[in-house]
Structure 1
């Protein structure tokens, strides 16, 4: 119960790894705001938490909208008294449009970056004051091993997430707000199944030192550590949880 009396916002928590983050935080005592664009999936996750005896609230959220990010922070404060933890998980990935750099539709590209990278900044701006008032907090950003693989505009967005993680850690450290990122490798989720062709996935796994696909629990375990007081002197870091797909000094 590392998160008893803590309040957490998890963006994009209506499905995939985000839903696992939310349920795991609630299981360890946190009150969790399911900040999700899709009302159907968001309510379903929130209900599953409350049905299990936890505390959860669904808040329809578009992380690319400043007014929406401010609104979800206000909802969390009104319902639970403040915010201690933020997991920036929301991203366009499942069924995303794929196009080469010279052909990608610019309107789509700008929206893509607004969600996958700029939304992290908007959410941080929305929560940092209440975190500071409560003595500090933790922000965990969702990166990806794609950040190091020249993976098109998805990889660029995640590389930007890594840079933003460092910048926010430097700026918010004086308020006792830690900022880290977690970079999963190939993980067994519906989004991966829809986006990565089986032959490509097989090739990726064969090249990894630990040549198996990741389980969502592999990612959740590391995320919970970084969000907890066990990592109280860790900030500005991007942790690869990827079976050794990315090896760097």
Structure 2
């Protein structure tokens, strides 16, 4: 999650940071000299994660599917930490319960996962926008998934939605100079994934990824190759990919090519970058 500016003297608000990828992202912010709000629906987990990081971190209760809960959490974090410069939309429902055919779950379950994985991104972006607009190098990072490129499960559909939201938010927040990007990880070795996906991991890694190894959280927190340079100023947003093991020769600007030989890399980078206009920051 390394930013070109680094995180020194900057504040990040990371959702779903009580464990897993979000927790590792919060650690990285503090390692780089920043402050972080660890937002999670599991307050106990958030408090444990914050205690590990000392005075540079705070725990805050946040149910991303609840608009008022998000607003309260964002306001509390901005007041205590001195603003918000970076928002990381990491919270989400996932794993095997949701990796199922789209008609196999009830309407109530669809509302549940859409509320967290899709509407939750909107809630957090909306509440954080005023603080980001006044922030230092303001940016939003959304967590999508390679499942969003396959789009054949309930979970995959929601992550396809995150890809779309990334481009839409980049355009909407451009007047405030807020950059909006997304990463789309493959199989990542978080504790939850290892515990629940143990029987499926070999299939995911061998059949769906170009690099046949388990992804590490460090692949997301500090991904090896950076995204390609921003497109020309006439193009306000783009969706592309940047990943270890991706076949050479990316898609044309503004287009996303389909799977390479039916497989995905360890991580895709789907970005929607704000292009600076003359006079903008």
TM-score (norm 2): 0.78
Relative to structure 2, which stretch is displaced further, 9-18 or 100-109?
100-109
Structure 2 unaligned residues grouped into runs of 5+:
232-236, 247-262, 269-281
Relative to structure 2, which stretch is displaced further, 201-210 or 70-79?
201-210
Q: Check if 1:61 corresponds to 2:62.
A: yes
Q: Do the aligned partners of residues 242 and 157 (structure 1) sit closer, same or farther apart at CA in structure 2, a change above 3 Å counting? A: farther
Mapped contact 1:183–1:241 kept (Cα < 8 A): no
- CA shift digits 1:119-160 (9 cap, x unpaired): 001100001111112365100000000011234110000000
Q: Which of 8, 23, 26 does residue 22 from structure 1 map onto? A: 26
- Tell me the equivalent position of 1:213: 214
Mapped contact 1:91–1:115 kept (Cα < 8 A): yes
For the aligned residue pairs, the C-alpha RMSD in angstroms reads: 2.6
Mapped contact 2:149–2:156 kept (Cα < 8 A): yes
Structure with the larger RCO, 1 or 2 (CA within 8 Å, 6+ apart): 1
- Tell me the equivalent position of 1:140: 141
Partner SS, residue 92 of structure 1: coil
- Tell me the equivalent position of 1:7: 11
- Tell me the equivalent position of 2:103: 102
Partner SS, residue 182 of structure 1: strand
Structure 1 unaligned residues grouped into runs of 5+:
none
- Tell me the equivalent position of 2:256: none
TM-score (norm 1): 0.87
More helix by share: 1
- Tell me the equivalent position of 1:202: 202
Mapped contact 1:84–1:137 kept (Cα < 8 A): yes
Question: In the comparison of the two structures, how many residue pairs are matched?
Answer: 240
Q: Counterparts of 1:242 and 1:164 in 2: how far apart (Å)?
A: 24
